[in-house]
Structure 1
Amino acid sequence: MAIISEDTFNDLSRYVSLRLQQGVPLVDADWNEMEDIRRFELRAFLKWFVGDGIPDGLEDSFRIIATGADNNFNISVGGGNEGLNAGRYLVDGLDVFITAGMFVSDIDTSFTNQQLHTSQPGAAQLAEILNVPVITPIPDPPENPDEIVILTVYLDVWERLVMPAEEPSLVLPSLGTESCARLRREWVIRVRPSSDVPSSGDSDYLPEHSYIALAEIRQDSTGLITPERLTDRRRLGLKVPSQLDITQLTNDAFGSSYGFNGRGQPALPISMREVINAILRGGRPAIIGPDELLAIEGPHSNPATSFDANGNQWLFWVRGVAANEIWFQRQIDGQTWLPAALLRNTNVTTGLSATGTSDGAIWIFWSDEDEAGTRADIFGQVFRNGVFGPEFTVSNSIAGQFNRSVSTQANNSNQVMVVWQNSSTSTFQSRLYNGEPAVATGVIDVSSDFAVAPALVISADNQFHIHGLDSNGLPASILRATWQADITTWNVPTPTGVSITAGPLELAAADDPFGGTWLLYTNGEVSITGSYLRPNNPPDPPLVLAETSAAPLNLTSTQDSEGNLQATFVTIVGPGLTTTLQRLRLISSI
């Protein structure tokens, strides 16, 4: 067997070429370093100047296809059977291509038909040759029917040395001697119970391997991999833009006189973002909608929405005529919505509220009656590290007491405040959680001065504020109470200056990034009205923010990472009383 000298390439040495010298022997280390320099330059360019992704025109490459099985899925090839036109994915600067011939059988391109899958004969021996683990089966599903486990399907890419002893074609038959060894780019598709690919420190992370996510599976207790439970996570449409593309973009945005100065310095005296934000701060936000957020998995009621620490939106709602199912849907990558799923069954749910914390958790609270319908309490559940934790009880009622109309917010210390209305005493009550369901204050009375459902906000100065209608009846003021953290109580509610003259009323509230508060309310008409509370100033006159197709019901609101407000509500239309979840977005900052 031929011997290969130790590698001499060092990417930090900054060598870009080898230069032959007369009278100096050419050794294998020189040749190999020259090749490593070339490969490093190409990979660095692809990694940093092109990026990961599937080329435009080969969108089916490495696409994961649900088959309804509980332990398998198909893998789309997406291209031809020759290297140049094969399906491919650019991963960490490595061009990885796929053909049907890379599987055990070219008519079965499934997960379990990979040669390295543990179910295949010889997989263990092949793994030893490749110096990698076998492909393990898809993890068993959770036993709890209420539990959802996130699985990531990912591409594992690495390179290895192939010697003539393994590949006989590397022996030159005419000379009977070995030719050069080769480097081969290998890949497999694996599945792990996580929302991301392996990273340094994980038990399944392998040095000098590159990973990229292909899909996400939301696995329930059935274990079935169906299209509704599968989300594509590939980056598609990779293409280096031409100067014509850039010119079109700049002309559309700034006009034909705009040009690049080559220095990377702003060419406009004031950025477009600053100009637009100045306009928005003038009082009226940019209003988008209302538009349809969800029409499936109805009938809908009591929607709740929030954003997690990564900017992904979560949507919860009560489904069913009997109001006995809580469903949810969430985004990944800030855009793609995962399929809707059942969170849990209840008795009769009459309110939902959700909030996200900076540690990545999502807290959901709801009001549920007992089986006899003699009382109602507030319950909660936390999504953290890819799974929903167990249900916990927030309030403890007695017979004839109904705790409803829940509202929640989190501050930047991951404290979660939850407020509800005790309908028996018409008192707002609250409880504060310090990062975990098991660490909380007792139930604290807010005030009996309020009527209608509480609207809780977290202000720019990290304070909790409750809004509610004065209990003296219409016409009435909207009152505001502030949490006093140093003495763990609420101050006496004070008028906001906003008065309501007609009902029935549904109230929502959210603070913006500039210290102001938007109060949104309905009065039985087909519209949503807003009043803006400016810091240290009288409130602005009421604005009709949007006309709706039908009277908006179950009005609630949340803020995105930029502080923009999103109001969510239900409309009921048509002879069949069809419900849809709709949203209205108030853009105060971009």
Structure 2
Amino acid sequence: MAVISPNSFDPLRRYVSVRLAQGVPLVDADWNESEDIRRFELRAFVRWFVGDGVPLGNDGFRIGAIGVAGSTTDCRIMAGGGTAPLAAGRMFVDGLEAFIVADTLFTAQPLHAGQPGAAALAARWGVPAIVAIVPGATPLSIYLDIWERLVTAAEDATLILAGLGTESCSRLRREWVVRVRPAGGGFGVPQSGDADFRPGHSYAMLAQVNRTAQQELTTQTLAEGRRTGLQVSSRRDLEQLTTDVFGAGYAVDGTGTPKLPFSLRDVLNGVLRDRPSITVPVTRLTGGPFNLPTTASAPDGTLIYWVRVAGADRFLSRAKLSANGTVTPAEDEFQFTGVLNVTSMAIVHEDAGFRRVFYTGQAGTAKLFSRRFDPGAPLATRWGAPLEVGSPDLNVGVVAMRLADNSTQIAWVGQNPAAPATPTVFTENFLPGAGITTLTPVGTSSDAQARVAIVPGPQILLFEQSGATLSILSKTFAGGAWPAAWTTLATMPSSAVHDFAAGFIAPGRLWLAYALTGPGGGSQLIGRISEAGLLGEARPMVSGASAPRYPNLAIDGGNASVFYQDGNAVRQVSFVTQI
């Protein structure tokens, strides 16, 4: 058993080197402190100037499915590199480098609770065993746990010098395991103060799993959590980047103002500080009115839908926003019949060219309708007849989301005949094809102007106002039912909210956008991130001179584009967190 003097290294003393003097003994504490100084400075450099992630050209620690059908309790930890030390899969976490040379199953890790001897090994190393994945329809985080431990000759016989028969110096060994964290433990990695956080350990997210009705760990349910492409860029790289993106003539004018529609500094600072940069609003359609602008993603661009008003007639119109920013000419899809006015609308694209539109309309009552587009039907009947769905009356704010099983979940606020004076949140599920499931009341609201949003889960968010307090409430479908009580995600003081939208980034992370009455009257468009129940900074997205209404979120690569109605125009403004 090695006898080692207590560690004498303290970074706050600012010692940067140990200097050996003549005629004095060399003790183990001096040697070890010198080594700790070197390690501390290298780790600080990597942590602050390189960062956490997987190096460029490497794919270490990618989490993959174990087979075509997937598994509810196991996944594969991919090496993502070669067997040679410098070619191995690797990842930097908090200034520490971990590497992996061969694919391994999550359940095959020696510390996994299902492995023989795992409990004894965990006790010997002084760490908890790896908790097994428990099947369930709840989100799951998969993360890397890195720490260092002392190895002596009692464990490694090669530390005994053969010629002398005595042990040499001990070693510090860097260990890693992959662990899981269910929704109850939080959506991020363990932080100081959490029950599963251990001092001396460093953590990094590898993947997040959106387990709903489809519980398997598959390519479809595993969402990337690593930062990849890690590289220290040179000044020449940066100059080449700005030249490639903005041209050789990029400069500032005589006042020092960059010749860009938005500040490059703001975008870069937003990326580095995880504080989104906001682009200037861009007019996509003008000369409307363009009522209820709604977006839907397509393989070749983003489709914008809206309600076109022509006297007493109402039409569903659309245009395509291409990748280069151009907008195709507007096309009418069909005329709304049986309603005098359309009050809310949602669009979902299904497989093989099928589409669904959901809308609420007023014609004496406020009902909810659905129409489905069949690309294989005759031209005159491709849009099916309106199907009346939903609660009897007072339906507003319909929203829709396509789920992992290809079904469509919708939600809205309506009237429950059992309690007509209390606004009720309803939901329905539309199966692939023409099937529809039973109308389900999710819960009630105290706000007659309450609005909802729906994200994968399915999770319904309720945005309601009580007095001067705005609340964001949540319910997630689990175990075949909706919970009885709403979960409060956040509250904030504010004024009347007109409209609300949410977009899904990853489990526990959402983009939020809402229009509310500003302090001096008029409307403001606010955007922010909600992460693990905590609201990020409220960022005004447009100036007070505009009148934003009906925000609709389109998410692409983690960035959020908000399409909204501003008078007779449809405009787009974006939150940029990644470039």
TM-score (norm 2): 0.56
Residue 240, structure 1, aligned to residue 282, structure 2: no
SS in 2 for 1:201: coil
Give 1:272's aligned residue: 258
Change (3 A) 1:515 1:151: same
Shift, 1:153, TM fit: 0.4
Q: Is 1:116 paired with 2:117? A: no
CA contact (8 A) 2:294 2:346 kept: no
In structure 2, what is the equivalent of residue 391 of structure 1? 442
Q: Is the 8 A contact 2:62 2:206 kept in 1?
A: yes
Within 5 Å, which residues of 2 pair with 1:449-460?
Answer: 457-460=515-518
Tell me the SS of whatever aligns to 2:49.
Answer: helix
Q: Which amino acid aligns with 1:63?
A: R
Query: 1:82 Cα deviation (Å)?
Result: 2.2
**Equivalent position amino acid for 1:366 in 2:** W
TM-aligned CA deviation for residue 19 of structure 1: 1.3
Amino acid of the structure 2 residue aligned with 1:160? R
Q: Of 118, 128, 152, which residue of structure 1 is paired with 2:141?
A: 152
For the residue of structure 2 that corresponds to 1:415, the secondary structure is strand
The answer to whether the 8 A contact 2:553-2:563 is kept is yes
| CA deviation string 1:41-84 (max 9, x = no partner) | 1100000011111011113x111112411101111111111221
Tell me the distance in 1 between the aligned counterparts of 2:205 and 2:83: 24
Which stretch has the larger CA shift, 78-87 or 285-294? 285-294
Counterpart residue identity of residue 91, structure 2: Y
1:550-576 alpha-carbon deviations (Å, 9 max, x no partner): xxxxx76469999985149xxxxxxxx
1:436–1:5 distance in 2 versus 1, CA, 3 Å: closer
Note if 1:566 corresponds to 2:563: yes
Q: Which amino acid in 2 is paired with 1:168? A: A
Alignment-derived partner of residue 178 in structure 2 = 189
Structure 1 gaps of 5+ residues are 101-107, 143-148, 260-265, 278-283, 304-314, 327-345, 355-363, 382-389, 398-402, 419-433, 447-455, 467-510, 521-554, 569-582
Structure 1 distance, partners of 2:452, 2:306, is 10
Match of 1:228 among 206, 220, 232: 220
Structure 1 CA distance, aligned partners of 2:447 and 2:32?
73
**How do 1:127-146 residues align onto structure 2 when only pairs under 5 Å count?**
127-142=122-137
Counterparts of 1:251 and 1:518 in 2: how far apart (Å)?
37
Distance 1:185 1:267, change over 3 A: farther
Residues 52, 93 of structure 2: 8 Å contact kept: yes
Using the alignment, how far apart are the partners of 1:166 and 1:567 within structure 2?
65
1:348–1:126 CA distance, 2 compared to 1 (3 A): same
Please tell me whether the aligned partners of residues 512 and 563 of structure 1 are also in contact (alpha carbons under 8 angstroms).
no
**Offset of residue 109 of structure 1:** 1.2
Superposed counterparts of 1:246-395, under 5 Å = 246-252=238-244, 269-272=255-258, 276=262, 285-287=281-283, 293-295=296-298, 348=390, 351-352=396-397, 366-367=412-413, 378-379=424-425, 391-394=442-445
By how many angstroms is 1:317 displaced? 5.9
How big is the shift at 1:151?
Answer: 1.2
Match of 1:566, SS state, is: strand
Structure 1's 84 and 589: CA in aligned 2 closer, same or farther, altered over 3 A?
closer
Question: How many angstroms apart in 2 are the aligned matches of 1:559 and 1:217?
Answer: 21
Please state if 1:515 is matched with 2:544: yes
Identity, in percent, stands at: 40
Question: Structure 1 counterpart of 2:133, which letter?
Answer: I
Counterpart contact for 2:422–2:444, Cα < 8 Å: no
Whose Rg is larger?
1
Structure 1 position 16, deviation (Å): 1.1
Alignment of 1:404-443 (within 5 A): 415-416=470-471
RMSD: 5.2
Tell me how far apart the structure 1 counterparts of residues 195 and 560 of structure 2 sit (CA, whole Å).
38
Q: Distance in 2 between matches of 1:243 and 1:207?
A: 37
Deviation at 1:12, TM superposition (A): 1.1
Structure 2's unaligned 5+ residue stretches are 264-279, 286-292, 308-344, 360-367, 370-387, 400-409, 428-440, 454-461, 474-485, 499-513, 525-539
CA shift for structure 1 position 246: 1.5
Please, which of 74, 77, 80 is the counterpart of residue 78 of structure 1?
80
Q: What SS is found at the alignment partner of 2:241? A: helix
Work out the CA distance in 1 between the residues paired with 2:234 and 2:414: 58
TM-score, with length taken from structure 1: 0.55
Matches within 5 A, 1:31-42: 31-42=31-42
- Match for 1:153: what amino acid? I
| CA apart distance, 1:85 | 0.9
| Corresponding position of 1:96 | 98
Conservation of the 8 A alpha-carbon contact between 2:253 and 2:259? no
For residues 585 and 207 of structure 1, do their structure 2 counterparts lie closer, same or farther at Cα, with a shift above 3 Å needed? farther
Q: C-alpha distance in 2, partners of 1:413/1:395?
A: 13
Between the aligned partners of 1:588 and 1:189, the Cα distance in structure 2 is 35
